[in-house]
């Protein structure tokens, strides 16, 4: 099937199929010059839009335009993270201001938002528009301010987003909430149906039948909660207009904690389709949420993927094309099995060039076995674990490249970072910390490493997409069996740590490095076989095209039919 054939097949029985699905997210990682993302959640949202565009899926993105973006990271003399904000100039980044404004009521004060449009797509394919709402003082920066600021931003996203689509004449019928930040969109949609004469009960059923919710984290801080007083002040007037009384409204966000209102529980209660982002995370999410009163939607899983056009090294893309693979085609038509016969010498040349580019940036040795670790500095990711026995680590013929930002308010995360920065200063020939991690830096770091290390506390890593970016580039994963890795791992493509306890994981990590990784590295032929297996086996399975097709077939199409 070509793209257009499959698109026609999918949407044939859905009239008015233009721009049907609205994908809402607090962050979108499209490119490093548009800094409206903080990490994996945003990069995933950006990759989702890019893959949807290439597949010709009628989808639009809805988010916020943060004029200060997310912070740029620096490091001071003490090795402590510093934060600075640049002013995002939308026109210079190819955004267009739409000819509409959108009003939202914030606890009695009406604010008026601008709407910007960014077209996402690559070259000749279909375009997916991303609409970004902006109110200068409110969308100052991503994840800025206190709880009140956050609920205001999230009302703008959810309520303002729905109104923006209406004002723009985008006839969205399916709504996908990427995390719970945008959950107030459901209340606004119910309100709108009720204002048009529907009963509250019918409107709620209608909204639920056309809403998809993706939960992204088992870490409590990743599941947005607000005090009920704050929610009462900001959202109850809207709920009242939808015919939902106070008790009923507070029950939507109830998860058994007094005085707290959870957006994940509310999202689950108002979505007919819900999923985690890996098989393991699906299980964990079911354990966390399924027994709550009023949660009757089965929580399934759609394992994340990565957009290969963004994450495959361009020289490797060319080499794969010469080998008969079309990395930009949907996985079943891409011919990935042909990658097994990739020319090993050419693969090594491409990989060595990536290593050289990274070495030039870091002043490390371009020939040495390089371990990469780059992601947000959230403490559950245990960034400092591998340095626990420094002597044992440095006895190995390895060097390490580290990067990542800690949330400005995450002092424990900053402490871990500071510890690693100190080590990098003492052992600058072996350990390098690169500042201001973003999409652009990830594109340089990942293909330039040999090993991609991920050692979170299991099962707190819902997916872990950076490991997929590594895998498709032939960078071998050495990871805790958490997130996507239990699905991707086999001994031909990398190494697995069981994820039992800090002590056990550390011992297993050192042993794997000493007894397996380093010997494999010293046998170039063996290493190239593993690189080839990683590319051949994992690229089709962890491509964002595969993930988006799953969303379409399992959720978007049934939801679109239900809302006819």
**Using CB under 6 A as the criterion, which residues of the chain lie in contact with ligand PLP when the complex forms?**
39-40, 43, 375-376, 437-439, 442, 464-466, 469
Name the phi and psi angles at 74, rounded to 5.
Answer: -125, 175
Measure the CA–CA gap between 535 and 344, rounded to whole angstroms: 12
Residue reference for tokens 């590295």: 521
**Which 3-state string (H, E, C) describes 249-269?**
HHHHCCCCCCCEEEHHHHHHH
Output the smallest distance, CB 31 to ligand PLP, in A. 11
Output the smallest distance, CB 65 to ligand PLP, in A. 19
Of 39 and 276, nearer to ligand PLP (C-beta) is 39
Output the smallest distance, CB 510 to ligand PLP, in A. 21
Output the smallest distance, CB 376 to ligand PLP, in A. 6
Measure the CA–CA gap between 193 and 430, rounded to whole angstroms: 61
Residue 49 CB: number of other CB atoms within 10 A?
A: 30
Residue 435 CB: number of other CB atoms within 10 A?
A: 15
Tokens standing for 360? 């030039």
Output the smallest distance, CB 378 to ligand PLP, in A. 8
Cβ atoms of 128 and 58 closer than 8 Å? no
Handedness of CA 42, 431, 522, 361 (dihedral sign): positive
Of 412 and 519, nearer to ligand PLP (C-beta) is 412
Output the smallest distance, CB 43 to ligand PLP, in A. 4
Measure the CA–CA gap between 541 and 305, rounded to whole angstroms: 8
Of 115 and 478, nearer to ligand PLP (C-beta) is 478
Give the SS3 label for residue 129: strand
Residue 172 CB: number of other CB atoms within 10 A?
A: 24
Of 115 and 416, nearer to ligand PLP (C-beta) is 416
Of 271 and 354, nearer to ligand PLP (C-beta) is 354
Residue reference for tokens 């409206």: 36
Cβ atoms of 351 and 474 closer than 8 Å? yes
Cβ atoms of 463 and 480 closer than 8 Å? no
Cβ atoms of 435 and 377 closer than 8 Å? no
Q: Which residues pair with 120 in a beta bridge?
A: 128
Of 373 and 551, nearer to ligand PLP (C-beta) is 373
Of 187 and 538, nearer to ligand PLP (C-beta) is 538
Name the phi and psi angles at 137, rounded to 5.
Answer: -75, -25
Output the smallest distance, CB 212 to ligand PLP, in A. 22
Tokens standing for 496? 């697995």
Output the smallest distance, CB 434 to ligand PLP, in A. 12
Give the SS3 label for residue 133: strand
Of 440 and 491, nearer to ligand PLP (C-beta) is 440
Measure the CA–CA gap between 359 and 364, rounded to whole angstroms: 5
Give one DSSP letter per residue of 156-187, joined into a string.
IIIIIHHHHHHHHT----EEEEESGGGTHHHH
Output the smallest distance, CB 292 to ligand PLP, in A. 27
Of 58 and 447, nearer to ligand PLP (C-beta) is 447
Cβ atoms of 504 and 498 closer than 8 Å? yes
Output the smallest distance, CB 545 to ligand PLP, in A. 17
Measure the CA–CA gap between 437 and 34, rounded to whole angstroms: 14
* CA nearest neighbour of 161 among 187, 199, 137: 187
Tokens standing for 332? 């079943």
Helix, strand, coil in percent for the chain, rounding step 5: 45, 20, 35
Output the smallest distance, CB 396 to ligand PLP, in A. 22
Of 264 and 465, nearer to ligand PLP (C-beta) is 465
Output the smallest distance, CB 440 to ligand PLP, in A. 9
Cβ atoms of 66 and 138 closer than 8 Å? no
Measure the CA–CA gap between 18 and 38, rounded to whole angstroms: 31
Output the smallest distance, CB 307 to ligand PLP, in A. 10
Of 272 and 374, nearer to ligand PLP (C-beta) is 374
Of 275 and 479, nearer to ligand PLP (C-beta) is 479
Measure the CA–CA gap between 18 and 7, rounded to whole angstroms: 12
Measure the CA–CA gap between 154 and 161, rounded to whole angstroms: 10
Of 176 and 375, nearer to ligand PLP (C-beta) is 375
Output the smallest distance, CB 374 to ligand PLP, in A. 7
Of 177 and 471, nearer to ligand PLP (C-beta) is 471
């Amino acid at each position: 099937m070509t793209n257009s054939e499959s698109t026609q097949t999918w949407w044939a029985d859905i009239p008015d199929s233009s721009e049907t699905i609205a994908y809402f997210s607090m962050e979108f990682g499209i490119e490093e010059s548009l800094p409206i993302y903080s990490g994996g959640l945003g990069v995933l949202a950006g990759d989702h839009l890019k893959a949807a565009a290439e597949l010709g899926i009628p989808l639009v993105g809805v988010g916020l335009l943060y004029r200060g973006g997310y912070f740029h990271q620096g490091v001071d003399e003490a090795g402590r993270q510093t934060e600075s904000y640049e002013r995002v100039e939308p026109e210079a980044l190819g955004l267009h201001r739409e000819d509409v404004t959108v009003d939202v009521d914030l606890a009695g004060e009406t604010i008026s938002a601008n709407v910007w449009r960014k077209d996402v797509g690559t070259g000749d394919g279909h375009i997916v528009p991303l609409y970004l709402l902006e109110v200068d003082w409110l969308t100052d920066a991503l994840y800025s301010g206190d709880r009140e600021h956050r609920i205001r931003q999230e009302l703008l996203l959810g309520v303002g987003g729905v109104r923006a689509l209406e004002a723009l004449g985008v006839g969205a019928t399916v709504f996908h909430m990427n995390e719970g930040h945008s959950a107030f969109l459901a209340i606004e949609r119910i309100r709108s149906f009720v204002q048009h004469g529907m009963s509250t009960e019918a409107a709620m059923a209608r909204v639920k039948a056309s809403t998809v919710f993706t939960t992204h984290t088992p870490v409590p801080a990743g599941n947005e909660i607000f005090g009920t007083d704050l929610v009462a002040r900001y959202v109850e007037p809207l709920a009242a207009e939808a015919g939902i009384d106070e008790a009923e409204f507070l029950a939507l966000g109830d998860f058994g904690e007094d005085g707290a209102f959870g957006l994940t529980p509310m999202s689950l209660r108002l979505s007919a389709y819900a999923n985690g982002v890996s098989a393991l995370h699906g299980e964990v999410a079911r354990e966390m949420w399924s027994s709550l009163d009023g949660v009757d939607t089965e929580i399934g899983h759609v394992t994340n993927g990565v957009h290969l056009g963004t994450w495959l090294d361009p020289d490797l893309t060319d080499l794969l094309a010469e080998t008969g693979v079309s990395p930009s085609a949907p996985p079943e038509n891409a011919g990935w099995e042909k990658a097994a016969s990739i020319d090993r010498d050419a693969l090594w040349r491409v990989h060595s060039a990536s290593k050289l580019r990274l070495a030039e940036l870091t002043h490390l040795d371009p020939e040495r076995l390089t371990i990469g670790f780059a992601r947000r500095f959230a403490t559950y990711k245990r960034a400092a674990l591998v340095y626990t026995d420094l002597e044992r680590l440095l006895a190995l013929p390895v060097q390490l490249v580290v990067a990542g930002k800690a949330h400005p308010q995450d002092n424990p995360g900053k402490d871990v970072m500071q510890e690693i920065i100190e080590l990098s200063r003492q052992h600058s020939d072996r350990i390098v910390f690169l500042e201001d991690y973003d999409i652009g830096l990830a594109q340089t770091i990942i293909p330039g490493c040999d090993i991609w290390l991920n050692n979170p506390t299991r099962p707190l890593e819902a997916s872990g997409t950076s490991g997929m970016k590594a895998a498709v580039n032939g960078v071998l994963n050495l990871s805790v069996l958490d997130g996507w890795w239990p699905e991707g791992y086999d001994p031909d493509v990398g190494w697995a740590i069981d994820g039992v306890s800090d002590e056990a994981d550390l011992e297993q990590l050192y042993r794997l490095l000493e007894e397996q990784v380093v010997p494999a590295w010293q046998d170039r032929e063996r290493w190239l076989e593993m690189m080839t297996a990683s590319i051949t086996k994992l690229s089709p399975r962890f491509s964002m095209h595969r993930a988006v097709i799953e969303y379409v077939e399992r959720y978007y199409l049934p939801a679109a039919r239900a809302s006819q």
